A and B are shown apart, each in its own frame.
Chain A
Amino acid sequence: MKSSNAASSPVMEPQSASFNPDVLSSSPKLSQNNFRRVSRTEDSSLYPIPGLAADILHMRVKEGSKIRNLLRFATARMQGEGEDGNRTSLRQVVFTGSDRGVTKTITCVEILKRKVGGLHQVSKLYYKTVSEVWESTQCGAPGITIQRTVPAICILLSKDPLDPQEPGYQPPQTASVPTEDAGRCRGLLRPGQSPSSQHTAKRLCLDEWTKCAQ
């Protein structure tokens, strides 16, 4: 059972090519109005993280996926027995997202880390090749196939410890002692804070902020 992909409808708007002009310079900007995208296939390549089981829970986050749907499913599988009771909880989960789904992927991971404590994380960035078939709306003109490369992210969350030397490793949030390598960007992360305290102390936040700004 995989996460539902809501973004695979054929009437998706053409994606903007302004983000990476070097990569997407071949996209048919001028003739886009005359073409209709008929199919979009992504390469289902291997995970960029080494040493993963093939049957690992893989959450594919698309642009139109709902965060609550993704998280309801993922937390149920990670937080122990599901509805049937005899299913054991998973130790690892992989989130992948590409292009405009990247932000949503990170948000999902951040929320899941807060819900399920003590998760080790490895994040990988890579380019993903997407081949699109466009067919012309004017009869007679041939269709074209375009290879696009879009930025993608792959995040592994694990209850078991992972290799801290792996690039992109992050220790669990609750462990406040930063390790030597991953602690490089650690000073930028916000300290562990209970989410319930945000709502009660709105005015406090203001004071805190002004203090920090000086």
Chain B
Amino acid sequence: MTDLRNPGMSSIPQTAPVHTDSTSPAVEMDPVEYTLRKRLPRKLPKRRNDVYVNMKTDFRAQLARCQKLLEGGGHREICVHGLGLAINRAINIALQLQASSQGALQLAANTSTVELVDDLEPEDPDEAGEPMTRTRNNSAIHIKVFYPDPQ
């Protein structure tokens, strides 16, 4: 069984059908091995005042970018978006903006579900497996950070 994990050995025909019998009842995997490739999330609309928060960029840089938009950029409102793990960071940025504005800024948070697509590509092109896609859901947050109207 361990030989199957080795990509170099998996093309030997007599070892391939081992998976189909009852020795491994819990495993529903195909006999062909796949590489899982995550696609980028669907491209979302982007205005000048949209900020998509990620986990790769430095937190302070993203916070400074939002501050610049609100103070220097002359925007009355910006929209901070976060997906999955970046939800926490998006909330943090929004709350930090609000705290540093001494109560002048207000927050309005909306949640949503985003469909993500994974590609499953067969490791060995000679085998019967064909590329598949799989969709899954992830949570997202959209925070409107805005100066409330005077009235």
Contacts and interface: CB of A to CB of B under 8 A. Distances in A.
B143 interface: yes
B141 to A, nearest CB: 6
> How many residues of B sit at the interface, in one of the four size bands?
35 or more
A62 to B, nearest CB: 15
Main secondary structure of the interface of B (DSSP, over half): strand
A202 interface: yes
A19 B87 contact: no
A89 interface: no
B60 interface: yes
B59 A20 contact: yes
8 contacts: A102-B88, A103-B85, A110-B111, A125-B143, A127-B99, A153-B91, A188-B45, A209-B42
Given A23-B96, A99-B88, 6 more contacts: A102-B91, A110-B137, A167-B106, A168-B107, A188-B112, A206-B117
Nearest first, the 7 closest Cβ-Cβ pairs linking A and B are A167-B108, A185-B142, A123-B109, A106-B139, A189-B112, A151-B91, A107-B139
Interface of A: 18-23, 99-100, 102-103, 106-107, 109-110, 114, 121, 123-127, 151, 153, 155, 167-170, 182, 184-185, 187-190, 198, 202-203, 205-206, 209, 212-213
